Structure 1
Amino acid sequence: MESLDLRVLNDALEWRRAGHAVTLVTVVETWGSAPRPPGALLAVRDDGVVSGSVSGGCVEDDLIARVKAGERTGLPAMIAYGVTKEEAARFGLPCGGTLRLVQEPLADIAWVEQVLARTAAHELVARTLVLATGEVTLTGASRDDVMKFDGSRLTTLFGPRWRLLLIGAGQLSQAVAQVAALLDFEVLVCDPREEYASTLAWTGATHVPGMPDDVVREMKPDAHTAIVALTHDPKLDDMALIEALRSQAFYVGALGSSRNQAARKQRLAEHFDLTEAELDRLHGPVGLKLGAKTPAEIAVSIAAQIVERKNAVSAGAPVAAGCAV
């Protein structure tokens, strides 16, 4: 459900609309130390241009060579790499790793359009491919669903982009936004203070007007959403956090010292009736303990903690809430 796979689908769609033939390749099984996990997606255009990856590069090179040599598959088919140690070494698969892939011609683009539209609306989508016929069906999915392959039917999952809402448009927010954009998050920034918001040129981020609590409520945070309050102004941060902690957001963090965080939690509990369980979701002081000092270093610590929590959520593993910069 990585957003990289959505980018692959978007590239494949544009190529087909431009008249190119496109082959999609999906990792379905791995053994040993495989570079890419099951579900990873690659698109290969008829002239050898690629989007995405299924390995460290050598498998892609072989797939490109096959396509450029004119090899085409009329129906989905299995292909394996690294069955022997010699082949694993040839294709750059470490520790005797093995990859099994399903390659398929992208004939019908309607399902791609639907997946992109539904994930843009923050839906989870399961796509089932019947290898014998090439038939594709789409159904709704849940976060408990996993990729499945029984040799004849392949079901893969596509989810919305992970998104990050930053409360505050100061120097630290700029740094966090830049790091998060590199991590392929959709970055949104809310700051009603004109002296901040109107003077910033956001690269890779979208400025969202309005009061932070209204913005959080209206965006309906889901399990693909992280929210971080960075203004140091309780009037802005606290109101946003109230909504965030009651939402489905997978990560909620706030800037401030341990003393400030303790006072914040007391305020939220006494005046806004947040439960202990809701308050325990707050990461504050925000970020991993890296000894960070500069805005860039603090941004790295925040982004690292968000990624840690994101990956734990994806794997179904718990992560402790309280960490400090």
Structure 2
Amino acid sequence: MDSVNLEVLRQAVAWDEAGVPVTLATVVRTWGSSPRPEGALLAIAGDGRLVGSVSGGCIEDDLLDRLRTERPARPEQLTYGITAEQTRRFGLPCGGKLELVLEPLAPGNRLAETLAAIERGEMVARRVDLETAAVDLLGDVPDAAVVFDGRTLVSAFGPRWRMLIIGAGQLSRYVAEFALALDYQVTICEPREEYRDSWAVPGATITTEMPDDAVTALRPDRRTVIIGATHDPKLDDLALIDALKTNAFYVGAIGSRANSERRRERLKLFDLTDADVDRLHGPVGLPLGSRTPPEIALAILADLTARRNGVTLVAAATRPASVGDACPAR
């Protein structure tokens, strides 16, 4: 999960266990250009300390003033940016609107259990009833960060996004660095000693397993990205065959369009359905005309970011061929 939200949960639990009153604010809806995404958290202690963010600062200040006057007795809904005056006052971008749920943590809030599940590497959903203040933990975790119907708030929590990159080449270094900056947990699979010995990206884990074994050990879920980046079918295809059978969020491989089509034909020779093979993103990334490893890495992370945010972009097949299609990496 987002490292900022994880920090908020840890601090909120620590305050709560120390007997400090805590109010948890969750962004549940946004319209227009909002400063923080749905699911963003802010914890405010009874003495005015806070951790996390729901805006650039003005809304936090208003929440502090509200809570100094009166802490709500039960969860409540709050909306900012309804009027032009509010938009100017709170520094929201033009047309921006932000809806929050304020939850005063009470006995039975189950936040510590939520945090424990996250730190065990599990996904969990926390449901709050605004009318009764009852809190439940659910095993059925929604794909969205939050689901809010006006009475019930369901927040999804779990391990942050994971990325497995096959091959420790130059491109992989840039992909790993960009992914780490975007809060992915990055693992590099590199069974070739000559490539592995020159690998040096702080924060990324390296494994010497064969690619199919690395995929199996990872146990991909819908927060997992797997990218073949070796240009060697003996390695990339090993990973792809197993990865395409999982519910991984994104499975891709570098290569030109022609090589990508040949790869799809090879994959059909194994026990993969047409639907499995259709899940492969290849050439991987957005068609930016990328030529250099940093540009290709940018195209890959841009595509991932758009898909994670639910943004639909023009498909590569409907756009003119880019100069990068001539490059083996594209």
> 1:98 Cα deviation (Å)?
3.8
CA contact (8 A) 2:81 2:98 kept: yes
Q: Quick check: 1:245 aligned with 2:244?
A: yes
Residue pair 1:123, 1:140 contacting (<8 A) in 2 also: no
Report what 1:262 is aligned to. 261
Unmatched runs of 5 consecutive residues or more in structure 1: none
**Does residue 202 of structure 1 match 2:235?**
no
Change (3 A) 1:138 1:84: same
1:296 corresponds to: 294
Task: Summarize the alignment of residues 68-217 of structure 1 with structure 2, pairs less than 5 Å apart.
Answer: 69=68, 72-108=71-107, 111-120=110-119, 123-143=122-142, 147-151=147-151, 153-217=152-216
| One-letter amino acid of the structure 1 residue matched with residue 283 of structure 2 | P
CA 1:200–1:118: 2 relative to 1, 3 Å: same
Corresponding residue SS for 2:176: helix
Change (3 A) 1:190 1:120: farther
Q: Which residue number in structure 2 is paired with residue 236 of structure 1?
A: 235
| Structure 2 match to 1:276 | 274
Shift of 1:102: 2.3
* Equivalent residues, number: 319
Per-residue CA deviation, residues 24-62 of structure 1 (Å, 9 max, x unaligned), is 111234455543344332122455443332223310232
Secondary structure of residue in 2 paired with 1:286:
coil
Question: 1:15: how far off?
Answer: 4.5
- The equivalent of 1:27 in structure 2 is 27
- Which one-letter code corresponds to 1:223 in the other structure? R
RMSD over aligned Cα atoms: 3.1
Farther off after superposition, 256-265 or 215-224: 256-265
Amino acid aligned to 1:138: L
Letter in 2 for 1:111: R
Q: Distance in 2 between matches of 1:308 and 1:100?
A: 23
Unpaired runs of at least 5, structure 2: none
How far apart, in 2, do the equivalents of 1:131 and 1:267 lie? 53
The CA distance in 2 between the partners of 1:117 and 1:82, in whole Å, is 35
For residues 297 and 196 of structure 1, what CA distance do their matches in structure 2 show? 21
Displacement of 1:177 after TM fit? 0.8
**Partner Cα separation in structure 2 for residue 319 and residue 13 of structure 1:** 43
- 211 and 179 in structure 1: CA distance in 2 versus 1, 3 angstrom threshold: same
Q: State the shift of 1:167 in Å.
A: 0.8
Task: Tell me how far 1:319 sits from its aligned partner.
Answer: 8.6
The amino acid of 1:9's aligned partner reads L
TM-score (norm: length of structure 1)? 0.83
- Cα contact 2:2–2:183 (8 A) shared by 1: no
Change (3 A) 1:265 1:133: closer
Deviation track 1:124-181 (CA, whole Å, cap 9, x = no partner) reads 4222223355332111224467612334x43323243211111111221111111111
Residue 13 of structure 2: aligned partner: 13
Which one-letter code corresponds to 2:204 in the other structure? A
Q: Percent identity?
A: 53
2:268 counterpart SS class: helix
Specify whether residues 213 and 96 from structure 1 end up closer, same or farther in structure 2 by C-alpha distance, changes over 3 A only: closer
Query: Cα deviation per residue 1:41-85 (whole Å; 9 max; x = unaligned)?
Result: 212245544333222331023224555x57544433344433432
> In the aligned structure 2, how far is the partner of 1:14 from the partner of 1:197?
41
Partner amino acid, structure 2, of 1:262: E
Partner of 1:9, secondary structure, is: helix
Q: Contact 1:82–1:97 (CA<8 Å) still a contact in 2?
A: yes
Q: Aligned letter for 2:25?
A: V
1:58 matched to 2:58? The reply is yes
